[in-house]
């Protein structure tokens, strides 16, 4: 009997000790708890976006092959692969000795023909005087006039040949037609180029703004995409760098990938295009519209998967409200349904135990 009483007293003391420890621990937690932080939903203008994947590619006409108009030996080559050139910069020079000799020859021919024209005009003037005096038959006078016309025509041809030779001399200096980067070099110093049958290619230049972005947009989203809309995108090489662009056009024909219908949206890149290379992949966000939305701090959201809720401060304490979320804007998230603009949303400062009690 005494033993039973002693055991009962020990159990009672142990229970009292455990209860005291639990109450003390709760009191300590309460003393350490963060102050309650409340946030009121904000009404803001946000952008509706269409998300897609894309690829960087060269624009049509952005790659220019530069060749030679005249034949000769390449005396000097001023560029190499990867070099940047400006429009009008000398890329290469062809030996001009052959063209210089031709120019001298044509100049001599022009001088000779000028003498021939002066002689023919002098003979024509004398013939007309003799014709007027009746000392020269009309047929001979007409022959002198034809000879003067032929001399003038020959002089014009010689001058034209001289101009052509001088143009060929200018072609011996090959200039960059656009500003860009040298993509390939197919001729070296000392080589002989022949332009008789086909214009030989010296170098290939890619325009500085040669790339464009092609986004593959699903048929469910293509109706909201329009030319002129602003685009934000990132590439794998620069994942933290937001690049900008603008929708240029939408290709009318569809591309079917794994049974999914997509449309190519061509996007003109704004600035920063020098860091991009063809065939880079991109994550694309097309800003299609703006709307007014109710936003709360993202950290105020609770729940898992699609079962999201928030705690709202009321007269009876924290109250659970199920919500439907929308677009995330930085550290805020759109609430499409579930709370009003006047609700006081609890961001932090409520203990886990209390949260469980208030959110059955």
Within 8 A by CB and 6+ apart from 88, the residues are 175, 176
DSSP code of residue 188: -
Together in a domain, 212 and 281:
yes
Q: What is the pLDDT of residue 54?
A: 92
Residue 3 in domain: no
Rounded to an integer, the average pLDDT of 149-156 is 92
Together in a domain, 155 and 268:
no
Together in a domain, 262 and 131:
no
The pLDDT tens digits for 188-229 are 888 887 766 566 677 888 887 778 999 999 988 898 899 999
Contact criterion met (CB below 8 Å) for 250 and 268:
no
Of 238, 267, 289, the residue that ends a domain is 289
Structural domains counted in the chain: 3
CATH code at 132? 1.10.287.470
Rounded to an integer, the average pLDDT of 314-327 is 84
Together in a domain, 84 and 201:
yes
Residue 185 in domain: yes
The domain of 222 spans 49-60+208-289
Q: How far apart are CA 64 and CA 177, in angstroms?
A: 8
Q: How far apart are CA 261 and CA 247, in angstroms?
A: 19
Q: What is the pLDDT of residue 307?
A: 82
The pLDDT tens digits for 169-178 are 888 898 888 8
The sign of the torsion formed by the CA atoms of 4, 7, 11, 12 equals: positive
Give this prediction's pTM: 0.51
Q: What is the pLDDT of residue 353?
A: 45
Residue 297 in domain: no
Question: Residue 272, Cα to own-chain centre: how many angstroms?
Answer: 7
Together in a domain, 221 and 260:
yes
Rounded to an integer, the average pLDDT of 30-49 is 72
Together in a domain, 200 and 226:
no
């Amino acid at each position: 009997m005494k033993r039973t009483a002693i055991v009962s007293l020990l159990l009672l003391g142990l229970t009292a000790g455990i209860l005291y420890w639990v109450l003390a621990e709760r009191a300590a937690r309460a003393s350490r708890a963060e102050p309650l932080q409340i946030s009121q939903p904000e009404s803001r203008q946000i952008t509706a976006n269409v998300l897609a994947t894309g690829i960087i590619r060269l624009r049509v006409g952005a790659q220019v092959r530069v060749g030679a108009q005249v034949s000769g030996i390449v005396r000097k080559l001023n560029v190499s692969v990867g070099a940047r050139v400006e429009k009008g910069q000398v890329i290469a020079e062809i030996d001009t000795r052959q063209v210089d000799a031709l120019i001298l020859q044509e100049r001599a021919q022009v001088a000779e023909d000028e003498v021939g024209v002066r002689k023919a005009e002098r003979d024509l003037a004398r013939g007309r005087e003799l014709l007027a005096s009746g000392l020269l038959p009309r047929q001979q006078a007409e022959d002198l006039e034809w000879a003067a016309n032929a001399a003038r025509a020959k002089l014009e041809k010689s001058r034209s040949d001289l101009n052509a030779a001088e143009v060929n001399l200018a072609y011996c200096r090959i200039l960059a037609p656009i500003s860009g980067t040298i993509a390939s070099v197919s001729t070296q110093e000392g080589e002989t180029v022949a332009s008789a049958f086909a214009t030989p290619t010296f170098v290939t230049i890619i325009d500085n703004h040669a790339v464009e972005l092609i986004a593959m947009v699903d048929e469910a989203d293509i109706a909201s995409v329009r030319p002129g809309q602003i685009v934000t995108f990132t590439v794998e090489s620069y994942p933290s760098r937001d690049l900008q662009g603008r929708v240029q056009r939408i290709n009318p024909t569809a591309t079917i990938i794994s049974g999914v219908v997509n449309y190519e949206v061509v996007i003109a890149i704004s600035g920063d295009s020098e860091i991009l290379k063809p065939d880079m992949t991109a994550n694309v966000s097309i800003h299609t519209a703006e709307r007014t939305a109710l936003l709360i701090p993202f950290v105020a959201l609770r729940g898992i998967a699609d079962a999201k809720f928030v705690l709202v401060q009321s007269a009876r304490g924290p109250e659970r409200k199920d919500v439907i979320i929308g677009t995330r804007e930085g550290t805020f998230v759109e609430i499409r349904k579930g709370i009003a603009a006047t609700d006081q949303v609890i961001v932090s400062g409520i203990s886990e135990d209390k949260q469980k009690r208030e959110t059955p």
